[in-house]
A = this chain, B = another copy of it.
Amino acid sequence: MSQVSIVDIARLAQVSPSTVSRALQGHPRISAERRAAILALAEELGYRPSQVARSLVTGRSHTFGVVVSDVTDPFVAEVLKGAEMAARDASYRLLFAMSNRNPAQEIEAAEALLDYEVDGLIVISSRAPDRYARLPRLRDAGKDHRIPVVLLNHAQVGEFIYSVKMDSESGARMAVSYLSQLGHRRIAFISGPSGGRSSSERLAGYRRAVLEHGLDASPELVIGGAGLLEDGWETLAVLLALKPPPTAVLCYNDLSAIGLLAAAAQMGVPVPDALSVVGYDNIPLSAYTTPPLTTVEQPKDAMGRTAVKVCLRALAGEPATTTVLSGQLVVRSSAAAPPQAQ
């Protein structure tokens, strides 16, 4: 036979399949010698239980679905890594899907993962957060069989839909305050994907800090973007076209900051001497840019790990709640005092 099953072992051990099952899962009421014999036999035959058969009967797949906007985004990859490690620690596996930043594709992916009976759903960088509360299978499940959903970096949008996030607003605020202390008065903000929760929160943090410090609040200083390398690259020109140009800029994420850095190097705009640049995320690469990027750290690993822990807790019936982690400013050398203050 190609695959050894529990009945093969039962036959060879001269016991019933149920006894084998019990031995294998460490059931208390079974004689020690039988258990040892069965375990040895299973080992020898290279037996591995079928998770799908197990799922069918227990109703638990030991699987979480993860849908991400784009694995290629270092922030996303880092969070995914954290989630994978926490899942593995709990003997869970991850069913992976990508939305390509497309809301329809995201929901489609989520539904597909649900078809595989995932025990929970983790969504990194959702573009359609309010759709989850309306998914029939999430809505209509019996109280005891609800599938937890955790949204990363989004607010909680319904019961059984949890949220693990960083306090984006205060992150952005810290960055702007830092820039203000350095002497900058005219600070631009390159925003992230429009409609995105984290983008609007970071913008709010930026605005609040601008107000608090009495900085230039011209609306022209807020520039649209989508959190891509290209955004930063293209934005330098619009920054320079502003009159007067800002002396500092806070980017939605490190990716756009790196794009900006590249454009600045290309056009001969010295950073931080002529322009201070601050990123967001603290992806590994941000320490290796020229100059090294000052940025707001997001606890990416912890976010991923926490997301699976929230799922686990919800499944255990414990009261899981929305978690807000805090970040901090990582000062490197892409921001300094503005030119006129030197």
Contacts and interface: CB of A to CB of B under 8 A. Distances in A.
A99 to B, nearest CB: 10
Nearest to A141: B2
B290 A116 contact: no
Interface in A47-95: 48-53, 55-56, 61, 63, 66, 70-72, 74, 77-78, 80-81, 84-85, 88, 93-95
Contacts of A337: none
Contact of A145 (B2, B63, B115, B265): B2
Interface residues of A, number: 60
Contacts of A52: 52, 55-56, 61, 116-117
Interface stretch (A21-29, A106-114, A182-190): A106-114
Interface string A134-163: 001100111001000000000000000000
B46 A137 contact: yes
Interface stretch (A213-221, A239-247, A255-263): A255-263
Protomer copies: 2
B72 A229 contact: no
Contacts of A103: none
A93 B81 contact: no
A339 interface: no
Nearest to A144: B2
B78 A72 contact: yes
